[in-house]
Amino acid sequence: MQILDGKRVSTKLKDEAQKEVTQLKSAGITPGLAVILVGDDPASHIYVNMKQKTCEDVGIYSIVHKMPDDISEEKIIETIQMMNKNPNIDGILVQLPLPPHIDEERVIGSIDPNKDVDGFHPCNVGRLSLGMDCFAPCTPLGVMRLLKEYDIELKGLDACVVGASNIVGKPMMNLILNEFATVDICHIHTKDLSSHTKRADIIFVGVGKINLITEDMVKDGAIIIDIGINKNSEGKTVGDVDFENVSKKCSYITPVPGGVGPMTIAMLINNTIKAAKKRGK
């Protein structure tokens, strides 16, 4: 069994990003990322602070628009439209979730697709499903980059994606399908989950349920990609996979923390640099 070390790979990617940003700056382009943060959700604030710090580390200009929980939908969209027109902003990110009175689809749809570094705009979602160049969501994209680092080829593999969210499951399905894996996608209404996971060469799981994937649900030598993030009764961060027991059977596995998580922010930086390069052209 080999650990897929996302922390190590993300550090390598950040070093590479720093060099790319330096080259862009020498050409007169400073990549810029703008984040909209609504409300006081502690987890959202932690994520945004991590993103901002990483931007600073690699030399990307970043700005956070903090808005009160009772902000109107129109005010958020006005701010996004302002950033759409700002030539110094290459990437726009709206930190989710938004308060219940805000229509997330409408807000995300107001972002210029060329600045949609989170990959959630319908235009980028459609291009991803067609296998076209686009901005893909950062977590699934980070998984793909992690697999590439370890020379894991998906072509011809039987893959099982557990979880069908718009942020992780569906884009994950499209990314691995574009690599010619045979994809089985499961969700809350799947009748017999283990019948799908048992025959998979590689399992991607991200639903937010502790120990959802157990040893008896995995075949020998399978590759396990745990995208889940949970807190157990002891307050420890764990994934969706029973790591201790499943790791005895698999060939590769991502730990939680230290697996997919660090790759997400690395891919946000990657997407922002990609957008800045397009501005350069």
Residue of 198, 205, 211, 200 lying closest to 172 (CA atoms): 205
Residue of 58, 38, 60, 57 lying closest to 48 (CA atoms): 38
Instruction: State whether CATH 3.40.50.10860 applies to domain 28-117.
Output: yes
* 8 Å CB contact between 74 and 86: no
CATH 3.40.50.10860 segments of the chain: 28-117
Cα 131 versus chain centre, distance: 18
* 8 Å CB contact between 218 and 251: no
Q: How many residues does the chain have?
A: 281
* 8 Å CB contact between 36 and 67: yes
Q: What is the pTM (predicted TM-score) of this model?
A: 0.94
| Preceding omega of 113 cis (within 30 degrees of 0) | no
Residue of 140, 98, 93 lying closest to 112 (CA atoms): 93
- What pLDDT score was predicted for residue 42? 85
- What pLDDT score was predicted for residue 41? 84
Catalytic residue numbers?
A: 51, 95, 118
Residue of 145, 136, 134 lying closest to 225 (CA atoms): 145
- What pLDDT score was predicted for residue 276? 96
Compute the distance between CA of residue 116 and CA of residue 171 in angstroms, rounded to an integer.
15
Compute the distance between CA of residue 266 and CA of residue 11 in angstroms, rounded to an integer.
8
Kindly state the tokens that stand for 209: 């349920």
Alpha helix positions (H), the chain: 6-26, 42-58, 73-85, 104-109, 122-129, 138-149, 169-177, 193-197, 243-246, 260-280
Compute the distance between CA of residue 228 and CA of residue 80 in angstroms, rounded to an integer.
30
Q: What is the pLDDT along the chain (281 residues), one digit of tens a residue?
A: 999 999 999 999 999 999 999 999 999 999 999 999 999 888 888 889 999 999 999 999 999 999 999 999 999 999 999 999 999 999 999 999 999 999 999 999 999 999 999 999 999 999 999 999 999 999 999 999 999 999 999 999 999 999 999 999 999 999 999 999 999 999 999 999 999 999 999 999 999 999 999 999 999 999 999 999 998 989 899 999 999 999 999 999 999 999 999 999 999 999 999 999 988 66
Q: 138-261 in CATH: which number?
A: 3.40.50.720
- What pLDDT score was predicted for residue 235? 87
